[in-house]
Amino acid sequence: MTPAIRRIRAEEGPSLRALRLRALADAPMAFGSTLAREEAFTEDVWRERAERGASGVDGVTFVAERDAHWLGITTGLTQDPDVPDDPRPELVGMFVRPEARGCGLGGALVDAVVGWARERSAGGLTLWVTATNTAALALYSRCGFRPTGERRPLDHSPAVASIRMVRDLL
């Protein structure tokens, strides 16, 4: 059965927690947060994240699902909280389980967030990616993102740089 891309449901906080913690354990250098930090989040945090991701109002979360099993996830935020003067939405938290990679799920999840951003009449969609993350850089380039020239250190590993990318939507 082909995986489906769909919006998270408000009551799916526990599934969100499970896949997000798996992502942080599997690819610690791909994310600004850490497994130790998010393992300590209460149930309320995951419920609020799922509710926000389901609403699509101040954020949206999409999952790739096959036979009720989540294979991938990503989130769109209405704005990059670290660049408050930039009104463009941001793609964060992209993850595809290792056994499901290379089949187009990453690209399909990007497309879902692009669709949500277009519905909001956004002029572009931004993201941050670790400069050494070959697979993610290839994915985003293929999806039409280009580097903005902005760089910053990864919070938990300052020796590692993240670069900012943007895809124009107008």
Ligand X SMILES: CC(C)(COP(=O)(O)OP(=O)(O)OC[C@H]1O[C@@H](n2cnc3c(N)ncnc32)[C@H](O)[C@@H]1OP(=O)(O)O)[C@@H](O)C(=O)NCCC(=O)NCCS
Judged by the rule CB under 6 A, the positions of this chain that interact with ligand X are 27, 30, 94-96, 101-107, 129, 133-136, 138-139, 142
Measured CA to CA in angstroms, residue 118 lies from 69, 74, 88, 89, 140 at distances of 28, 16, 11, 10, 17
Closest to 110 (Cα-Cα) out of 169, 22, 31, 46:
169
The count of C-alpha atoms lying within 13 angstroms of the C-alpha of 30, restricted to the half-sphere facing its C-beta, is 19
* Nearest approach, Cβ of residue 143 and ligand X (Å): 8
Q: Tell me, rounded to whole angstroms, the distance of Cα 151 from its chain centroid.
A: 18
Nearer to ligand X, 103 or 169 (CB): 103
- Point out the residue whose Cβ comes nearest to ligand X: 106
Least spacing, CB of residue 162 vs ligand X, in Å: 8
Distance of alpha carbon 147 from its chain centroid, rounded? 17
In the complex with ligand X, the residue whose CB is nearer, 51 or 155, is 155
Q: Cβ 150 to ligand X, closest distance in Å?
A: 14
Q: Which tokens belong to 112?
A: 């879902």
Name the residue nearer to ligand X (CB basis): 44 or 67.
67
**CB of 15: closest distance to ligand X in angstroms?**
17
Rg of the chain taking only CA atoms, in angstroms: 15
Measured from the CB atom, is 46 or 140 closer to ligand X?
Answer: 140
